[in-house]
Amino acid sequence: MAVARKIPSPIVNIETEPFWKAARERRFVVPTCSTCGRAHWYPRAICPFCGGNIAWHDASGRGTIYTYSVMRRAKEPYVIAYVTLAEGPTMLTNLVECDLDALRIGQPVGVVFVETENGPPVPMFKPA
C-alpha cells in the first residue's frame, strides 16, 4: 500500500494561483476556455486551443488511469501516472492510498489532497 508522504510545497505563480487557492479549500478546479468551452491542463493564461480567456470551474475530481509507472527503487515506492479527467484533459499526477500491484490502466480514480511542507495541498488520485 503506497502511503502519501509530505512533499515539497508547489511554486505558485499568477497563472496557477486560482488553482492553488481552490486546493487550499479542498476544491479541485480545471481551467476552461470562456470562448470555446474546452477544459485543458496544465494551467496557463490563455486557451491552448483557440487563444481565448480562461475561467476556473469546479471539476468532478473523477478520472481514469491512462498510464502509470511504479517507482520501486525509491526509498518509499510511489506511483506516477497520467489520469484522464472526467472533464477531458489528461494530467500528470501521483496515485496514492493504493495497492501498487492492483493498479490497472482504465481503472477509475478520485481526487485526494496531499499535504505539502508549507504550501497548499496537492491534488493526487486514489482508486475509486
The tens-digit pLDDT sequence of the chain (128 residues) is 444 457 899 999 998 999 999 999 999 999 999 999 999 998 888 999 999 999 999 999 999 999 999 999 988 999 999 999 999 999 999 999 999 999 999 999 999 999 999 899 999 999 99
pTM: 0.90
CA distance 4 to 25: 19
At residue 18, what is the residue type? P
Measured between alpha carbons, how far is residue 124 from residues 49, 94, 101, 116 in Å? 25, 5, 18, 12
Domains recognised in the chain with CATH numbers? 17-127 (2.40.50.840)
